[in-house]
Amino acid sequence: MWDSFLLGVEMAMRWDTMAMMGVGLMLGMFVGALPGFTTVMAMAILLPLSFFLEPLIGIPFLLGVYKGGIYGGSIPAILVSMPGTGASVATTFDGPALTKKGKGRKALEMALFSSAFGDLSSDIVTIMFIGPIALIALKVGPPELMAILFLALIVIAATSSGVFVKGLLMMVVGLFLGMVGQDPIGALSRFTFDIFQFRAGVPLLPMLIGVYALPEILIAIENRATGMIKQTINSREGGPLTFEEFRSCFRTICRSTMIGTVIGVVPGIGQVVAAFMGYAAAKNASKTPEKFGKGELEGIAAAEAANNAVNGPTMVPLLTLGIPGDNITVILIGAFIAQGLRPGPQLMVEQGPLVFAILVAMVLANILFLIIGYFTIPLFAKVVTIRKSILLPLTVVFAFAGSYVPRSDPFDLLVLVGFGAFGYLVKKLSFDVTPMVMAFILGKELEYSFGQTMVLAQGNLAQYLFFERPITAAIIIGTPFLTYMLWRRSSRLRNEVAAKLSDEIPS
């Protein structure tokens, strides 16, 4: 094992590997930053290119696209509140607020550093514990997924902003929206109201862009006479991230990295869940939780470190079992196979050094990315210096192009505007859209894994869970207690904040 590892390190240290990985990182970042383009799409488009490169160039190239793409997605989330995937929703809590304060560059750099750090650490952990992680990843099945999703929804509800019951109601709205389309097990149409497009369900990207990006525009337009033309950017605030700022978030980054790495063994929905858990944990541990969501660098660090720390472990099922856990690894498996490498138990035995070389390349990609990202961020940060009366119309155009591209269906543009108006409405009425979006994404998975668990239990659910799936049983039993704790804590915090404020502001 050690020999293969050393051989692998040697194989990965090549300048042409580095160069192509750099190209991949740049391409991935730019494509990922375009609204409507997910990392998966970027990789699918660039995949055939890798066929013509040798394995140790082609695969690192795609890994570069992968890592660059995931970071790229956080750029529009921070600058114009336009999340490209569920994984960057948590980044929109603090990113746009920071941008409004003129701290866009700081936010982008914090995202870069925490992403790279989270990713790097999780890659190293993955290399060290590839065997145990493989075992766990194999054992995490539908029942465990169900329990984790359930827990995640509880945490999201408890950390939503505003009145608890309103957060829960929005969550149920999200669950309902997630049911539109086809039921997960039998593929029977539900709530389509005889509109054909609804058979495929409510499309995610137009919804995300609609509820997060469009309301920002509508709120900005309310008083266009005062806010639009004059725009001042404080040059000191607009500067790069200071070491002090990074250091103050370091604990949060480490915590989120741990959370992300652990959740990373759950295939598929890992990144979405991790970002939220990381954010919730940071808010919970903070001395000033009331600042979260209003432009706190720590919030960016928490979400970004956590969703990137997922990346390392998701590679494990691919490399050791030959089973891709999500759409990204499905494309990587294509790249491997096209290179004549067949991921799976045999690959580790026959081509151990190569597997390690690829893992080492992943580690190096992070370091390379820190450098590349650091020099390209000022370019992206320039976006905030564009006059608002031009930036906002451009945001609208990108929102529309980005909503149309994934499915090429004009109907999605209607969905976009509909959710834009909806998002604006509920924002004015102090409903938080995030529990809705998260329940929409996770609810479908929850129903599916619940359905699978029912079948697996063969009619005796309690017995199955307690005797064959102890982890699931433990999580389910623990959830009510955790909910109660979170609820009490959050209501206590709210009271404290209210008390603090009434001290500060004489009413």
Partner 1 sequence: MTFRKISLMFLGAALVFGLGAGSVKAEFPEKPITLILPLGAGGSHDLNARVFTSILPSYLGNAMIVKLMPGASGQTGTAAAAHAKADGYTLIFTHNYYDQLQQHVKKLPYDTNKDFVSVAQLNSNDASLIVRADSPFKTLKNLVDFAKANPGKLKFAHSGVWGAVHVPAVRLFKEAGIKVTMVPYKGGGPSMRGFLAGEADFTLQFPSGIVSQGDKVRVLASGSKGMFKGVPSFGESGYSDDLGSMRRIIMAPKGIPADRLKKIQDALVKLQGDKTYKNMIKKIGETTNFINGPDYDKLRPGQSKTYKELITSLTK
Partner 2 sequence: MEPTEENVEQQTGPAHGFNFNTVFGVLFVVASAVLFLIIPGQIEKPLFVLDENVNALKPNLFPRLAAIGFGGLGVWLFFRSFSIDEKNKFKNLDRQAIANVLVTLVMMSVYGPLMMQIGFVVSSAVVIAALSTFFGNRSYGLTAAISIVIPVSIFFVFTNLLATSLPPFPIDTPLTRLYLL
Residues 6+ apart with CB under 8 A from 376: 26, 29
Residue whose tokens read 């500067």: 239
Q: For residues 403-442, which are near partner 2 according to CB under 8 A?
A: 404-405, 408, 410, 413-414, 416-417, 420-421, 424, 427-430
292-315 per-residue burial string, b: 16 or more CB within 10 A, e: under 16? bbebbbbbbbbbbbbbbbbbbbbb
CA 279 vs CA 63, 95, 291: distances in Å: 26, 13, 13
Which partner, partner 1, partner 2, none, binds residue 25 by CB below 5 to 8 Å per kind?
none
- The position carrying tokens 């359905």 is 451
* CA–CA distance, 454 with 460 (Å, rounded to integer): 8
Give the tokens for residue 502.
Answer: 């009434």
User: Taking CB within 5 to 8 Å according to partner kind, which of partner 1, partner 2, none is near residue 172?
Assistant: partner 2
| Positions 314 through 373 that interact with partner 2 (CB under 8 A) | none
Site stretch for partner 2 (CB under 8 A), options 78-86, 188-196, 338-346, 359-367: 188-196
Which whole-number Å values give the CA distances from 373 to 136, 360, 369, in the listed order? 33, 20, 6
Minimum distance from CB of 417 to partner 2 (Å)? 5
Closest CB to partner 2 among 238 and 344?
238
Q: Looking at 387, 488, 489, 492, which residue binds partner 2 (CB under 8 A)?
A: 387
What residues line the site for partner 1 (CB under 8 A)?
38, 40-41, 43-44, 47-48, 51, 138-139, 141-142, 181-182, 185-187, 196-197, 199-201, 203, 267-268, 317, 321-325, 327-328, 330-331, 334, 337-340, 342-347, 349, 406-409, 448, 451-452, 455-456, 458
- Which pair of tokens denotes residue 417? 């505007």
CB of 359 to partner 1, least distance (A): 18
Stretch that binds partner 2, among 76-84, 231-239, 323-331, 396-404 (CB under 8 A): 396-404
The interface partner of residue 494, options being partner 2, partner 1, none and the CB cut-off 5 to 8 Å by kind, is none
H/E segment holding residue 181: strand 181-182
Instruction: Note whether 498 binds partner 2 by CB under 8 A.
Output: yes
Task: Find which of partner 2, partner 1, none residue 43 binds, CB within 5 to 8 Å per kind.
Answer: partner 1
d(CA 424, CA 300): 23
CB of 70 to partner 1, least distance (A): 15
Residue closer to partner 2 by CB (options 96, 317) is: 96
Element holding 377 (H helix, E strand): helix 352-381
- What does 507 interact with, of partner 1, partner 2, none (CB < 5 to 8 A by kind)? partner 2
DSSP 190: E
Q: Is 499 in the site for partner 2 (CB under 8 A)?
A: no
Q: Where are the alpha helices (H) located in 195-296, listed in sequence order? A: 204-222, 224-227, 243-248, 250-263, 270-285
Partner from partner 2, partner 1, none binding residue 483, C-beta < 5-8 Å depending on class: none
116 touches which of partner 1, partner 2, none (CB within 5 to 8 A by kind)? none
Q: Which two tokens stand for residue 455?
A: 């079948």
Distance CA 319, CA 445 (A): 24
Structure tokens at 447: 């129903």
Helix (H) or strand (E) holding 406: none
CB of 445 to partner 1, least distance (A): 9
Per-residue tokens: 27: 């391409």
Considering the rule CB under 8 A, would residue 228 count as an interface residue with partner 2? yes
Region 45-74 residues binding partner 2, contact defined as CB under 8 A: 45
State yes or no: residue 179 binds partner 2 (CB under 8 A): yes
Q: At closest approach, how far in Å is the CB of 278 from partner 1?
A: 25
Binding partner selected for residue 414 from partner 1, partner 2, none, CB under the kind-specific 5 to 8 Å limit: partner 2
DSSP reduced 3-state for 189: strand
Report the C-alpha gap between 77 and 89 in whole angstroms: 7
286 binds partner 2 (CB under 8 A): no
